[in-house]
């Protein structure tokens, strides 16, 4: 079932993990690499052709995938050797892991809890080879002038709106990480619309870290309390592939990473153009609102994608410390998995050794003022 066109893309995207429920991920299906061509060929110019590839996005084609749009529009996939790279819209009916395992996508954009669940519950031969977001994007949003929630302890005695499935599992992990019992507060089952917060039916609402933007646009005193900054740090929008892909198509995956790095670099520095592609082309059928695409894209780049570590080591990389934090967060959530079973960052290491020019310190824009949308 395809994801419906959302009334408010910013609110709807809060369901990053709801498709997975973090359990019961099917491991069936072919492990063949999807749509990459039987073998690499050589073009008439002598350049090696990698055929076609596909990326399973974790959600609808909105602002979150502007790096992929730029990689397409700037020709980075083609210059890396691909005839084309298909961007497959995600939704709520299945997981990127199951699609990759079924051989229907080369790479799936996901998150460590979902991938770890697939590995532990089904023995799925999957690995994460890089991470777009250096920090978990989930948060509890609240209205500061009514019931401000700035720390986990502020939730005690309050009503917190949490979506079922994966989001509830994440929220319970946040409680465990901060020594809070479920009996210390009231968990209220909600959907993905924060109207219940604005109506005062809940004091806090599980959302994305960009949730305060929409609240402030509606003249509410919006606050967000990040999970990543309060005991539950893990990366997100991770590149998940099969072990078979790593073993048999290593150069193809590295070429894809090169194009992704270039695309995201450009998208971070030129969010207006990148988001215009989201609104006018890739997400045109979603009736996206310009302001709700531009401001969150800038915020995510500043808060989640660019860091001192990525400026030193390159986009998508993870330090040993960050890997350890992820493993600890997963254990808190009940997923006891070792780093070597979940991550293989050696491909990125090779990419940056072979292309040191890709390590470019980036200053992400900090001004969330929405400019006039350019025509692309």
Question: Following DSSP, what letter does each residue of 41-106 receive, concatenated?
Answer: EE-TTSPEE-EEEEEE-SSSSSGGGHHHHHHHHTTHHHHTTEEEEEEE---SSS-HHHHHHTTS-S
Q: Is residue 4 scored above 60 in pLDDT?
A: no
* Domain end marker among 200, 226, 252: 226
272 and 130 co-located in one domain: yes
Q: Is residue 296 scored above 70 in pLDDT?
A: yes
Q: Is residue 13 scored above 80 in pLDDT?
A: no
* Domain end marker among 187, 203, 226: 226
* Domain end marker among 193, 226, 259: 226
Residue 127 lies in a domain: yes
122 and 152 co-located in one domain: no
Residue 369 lies in a domain: no
- Of 70, 69, 106, residue with least CA distance to 283: 69
State residue 214's pLDDT score.
82
Judged by DSSP in three states, 117 sits in helix
State residue 334's pLDDT score.
86
Q: Is residue 331 scored above 80 in pLDDT?
A: yes
pLDDT tens, position by position, 237-266: 999 999 999 999 999 999 999 999 999 999
CA 158 to each of CA 82, 142, 155, 193, 205: distance values in angstroms, whole numbers, following the listed order: 52, 11, 5, 19, 11
250 and 334 co-located in one domain: yes
State residue 202's pLDDT score.
98
DSSP assignments along 292-339, one per residue? HHHHHHHHHIIIII--HHHHHH-TT---HHHHHHHHHHHHHTT----H
d(CA 296, CA 303): 10
Average pLDDT over residues 124-132: 98
pTM of the entire predicted model? 0.84
313 and 270 co-located in one domain: yes
d(CA 295, CA 280): 16
State residue 211's pLDDT score.
87
Count up the domains in the chain and report the number.
2
350 and 253 co-located in one domain: yes
Other C-beta atoms lying within 10 Å of the C-beta of residue 42 = 9
pLDDT tens, position by position, 151-171: 999 999 999 999 887 788 789
Backbone angles phi, psi at 353, to 5 degrees: -70, -40
Residue 299 lies in a domain: yes
Residue 1 lies in a domain: no
The order of strands in the sheet holding 51-56 is 82-88, 51-56, 107-110, 236-242, 126-133
Show Cβ contacts of residue 47 under 8 Å, excluding neighbours closer than 6 positions.
81
57 and 45 co-located in one domain: yes
pLDDT tens, position by position, 182-196: 999 999 999 988 999
251 and 336 co-located in one domain: yes
Of residues 365 and 34, more confidence is placed in 365
d(CA 21, CA 149): 26
- Of 91, 12, 61, 64, residue with least CA distance to 286: 61
Residue 370 lies in a domain: no
pLDDT tens, position by position, 270-291: 999 999 999 999 999 999 999 9
Residue 217 lies in a domain: yes
State residue 165's pLDDT score.
73
Domain holding 201, by residue range, is 138-226
Residue 373 lies in a domain: no
Residue 71 lies in a domain: yes
Q: Is residue 220 scored above 60 in pLDDT?
A: yes
121 and 181 co-located in one domain: no
Q: For a pLDDT cut of 90, what percent of the chain falls above it?
A: 74
151 and 96 co-located in one domain: no
288 and 160 co-located in one domain: no
The bridge status of strand 82-88 relative to strand 51-56 is parallel
pLDDT tens, position by position, 30-81: 333 333 433 445 443 334 789 999 999 988 999 999 999 999 999 999 999 9
112 and 193 co-located in one domain: no
Show Cβ contacts of residue 289 under 8 Å, excluding neighbours closer than 6 positions.
8, 9, 279
pLDDT tens, position by position, 299-318: 999 999 999 999 999 999 99
- Indicate the average pLDDT of the chain: 87
d(CA 253, CA 34): 12
Q: Is residue 368 scored above 80 in pLDDT?
A: yes
CA-based end-to-end distance of the chain: 30
253 and 322 co-located in one domain: yes
CATH number for the domain that contains residue 270: 3.40.190.10
Average pLDDT over residues 9-22: 38
- Of 63, 9, 98, residue with least CA distance to 272: 63
d(CA 252, CA 135): 27
């Amino acid at each position: 079932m395809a994801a419906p066109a959302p009334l408010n893309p910013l609110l709807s995207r809060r369901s990053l993990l709801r498709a997975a429920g973090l359990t019961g991920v099917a491991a069936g299906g072919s492990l063949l690499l999807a749509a990459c061509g039987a073998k690499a060929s050589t073009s008439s110019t002598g350049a090696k052709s990698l055929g076609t590839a596909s990326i399973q996005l974790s959600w609808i084609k909105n602002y979150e995938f502007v790096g992929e749009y730029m990689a397409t529009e700037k020709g980075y996939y083609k210059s890396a050797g691909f005839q084309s790279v298909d961007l497959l819209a995600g939704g709520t009916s299945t997981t990127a892991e199951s699609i990759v395992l079924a051989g229907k996508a080369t790479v799936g954009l996901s998150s460590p809890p979902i991938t770890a669940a697939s590995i532990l519950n089904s023995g799925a031969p999957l690995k994460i080879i890089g991470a777009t977001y250096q920090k978990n994007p989930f948060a509890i949003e609240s209205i500061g002038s009514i019931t401000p929630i700035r720390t986990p302890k502020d939730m005690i005695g309050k009503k917190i709106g949490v979506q079922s499935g994966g989001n509830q599992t994440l929220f319970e992990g946040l409680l465990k990480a901060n020594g809070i019992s479920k009996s210390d507060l009231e968990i209220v089952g909600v959907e993905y619309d924060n109207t219940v917060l604005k109506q005062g039916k809940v004091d806090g609402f599980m959302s994305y870290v960009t949730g305060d933007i929409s609240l402030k646009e509606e003249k509410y005193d919006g606050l967000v309390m990040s999970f990543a900054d309060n005991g539950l740090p893990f990366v997100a929008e991770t590149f998940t592939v099969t072990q078979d892909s790593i073993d048999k198509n290593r150069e193809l995956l590295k070429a894809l990473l090169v194009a992704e790095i270039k695309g995201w670099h450009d998208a971070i520095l030129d969010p207006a153009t990148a988001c215009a592609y989201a609104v006018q082309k890739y997400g045109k059928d979603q009736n996206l609102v310009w302001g709700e695409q531009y401001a969150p894209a800038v915020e995510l780049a500043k808060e989640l994608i660019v860091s001192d570590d990525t400026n030193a080591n390159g986009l998508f990389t993870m330090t040993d410390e960050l890997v350890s934090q992820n493993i600890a967060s997963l254990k808190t959530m009940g997923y006891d998995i070792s780093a070597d079973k979940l991550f293989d960052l050696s491909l990125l290491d090779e990419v940056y050794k072979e292309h040191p020019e890709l390590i470019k310190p980036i200053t992400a824009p900090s001004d969330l003022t929405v400019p006039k949308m350019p025509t692309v």
